[in-house]
Amino acid sequence: MRFPRQRIQFSRMHDGKPSTEGYIVLNLKGFDLEGVTALAIDVADIEECRRSGDKADEEKQRVRDLLGGL
């Protein structure tokens, strides 16, 4: 099964634990996975998620800085 890009997320924090390399989060909600034995994720999709996640983190930090570090 090819995993859809829209259900892949990248985060530098998971369950309160930070990671320098980050985490790939696969949203499985709503999938009927009976009989599925493998998931294929394009590395390009993972890299795009990483860039998007990093950009979101940078934006959050920029807003914090504008608000005086709150």
Question: Number of structural domains, the chain?
Answer: 1
Which residue's entry shows tokens 């979101």?
A: 56
pLDDT digits 0-9 by tens, 23-54? 888 888 888 888 887 777 877 888 888 888 77
CB of 38 within 8 A of CB of 1? yes
Domain that holds residue 49: 5-66
Q: What is the pTM of this model?
A: 0.57
**pLDDT band for position 70 (cuts 50, 70, 90):** low
